[in-house]
Chain A
């Protein structure tokens, strides 16, 4: 009897435990970091591709890229350009030797987890009900938009001919079944809002 009461008490207390996020967008986060020694003020131009890589496939040594559909990529590029223009940068073609490269990439990742409900209801002689153990597999999918700014002129100073990233933004959130591009464009605005040091003015 006492065990039953104790178990009931634990379950009841667990029942009034506060909840966390209610909606997928409640999990949205935007992370940015930058190279503090880099002088953004003296830069004027940048270049950016017109496609967003979402996946890479390697078949027999051949690498092929998968791109985001234009109807989703277009508002993302528009939003990035709008913010870069507001900071004082001009978008130029790749062959016009821009000061900075801006590369966006989108990543979708699915995580699987296993849960195992073990048989903690040990059968007692006076109140024997037994919960059989069962296993379940669940998954969740998160989407990320990553933007990087790099300075191509820095490659000359690098022994491996690569330029360092001077700014990185990573926006991540739990994917919902209704594809909502406004969550992505909002995260782009936020990335630039929390990076006031990018301004050329």
Chain B
């Protein structure tokens, strides 16, 4: 936890460099929940994640920007037997999934001047997705750069002049690509700070 707070503090410090007028910088702690194929691979929620957003207001309630993020999913599977055709392999598996989205975003702010500002956004881009299945001393690695569409809804709470609290939910929908023959998708719940 201490590390996480430190990480966020530094990320915030980095973010403030990019500060400009009419722009929003969001830095959030991100909790991920795998769905579909990713959820089958790792059932456990991910508590290792960070999300960074930059949004530039072209009109008071419309902003364009980009989103960068990183979510690491991990699960230690108990000893199990995996059988394919006439071969069986028993052992413990350690599963990892690392996902780093890079998206262009468009945001609609419902009440940009208010204390509570709900908003909706859509992100389009790609992500680097890597999956590792570790067993014995070996790892099977699958990776891809899927095309991503990410709807997002959130709430900004304008706590002070230039700083606010941010809560949002994103659904990252990655199409099949690279070594993955089905979609790679997950929900994230993000809580963080917003600067503008």
Contacts and interface: CB of A to CB of B under 8 A. Distances in A.
Interface stretch (B81-89, B114-122, B146-154, B162-170): B81-89
Contacts of B88: 30-33, 194-195
Interface in B90-128: 90-92, 94, 96
A97 interface: no
A31 B89 contact: yes
A148 interface: no
Given A12-B6, A29-B136, A18 B87 contact: no
A13 interface: yes
B71 to A, nearest CB: 12
Nearest to A22: B76
Contacts of A173: 136
Interface residues of B, number: 29
A8 interface: yes
Interface string A4-31: 0110110011011110110000111111
Contacts of B134: 20-21
Interface string B32-75: 00000000000000001010000000000000000000101010
Given A9-B7, A32-B87, A27 B136 contact: yes
Contacts of A6: 14
Given A13-B70, A33-B87, A172-B136, 6 more contacts: A9-B7, A16-B7, A17-B72, A18-B72, A27-B92, A33-B86
A3 to B, nearest CB: 11
B13 interface: yes
Contacts of A35: 86
Given A29-B89, A29-B135, A30-B91, A13 B81 contact: no
Contacts of B6: 12
Nearest to A169: B88
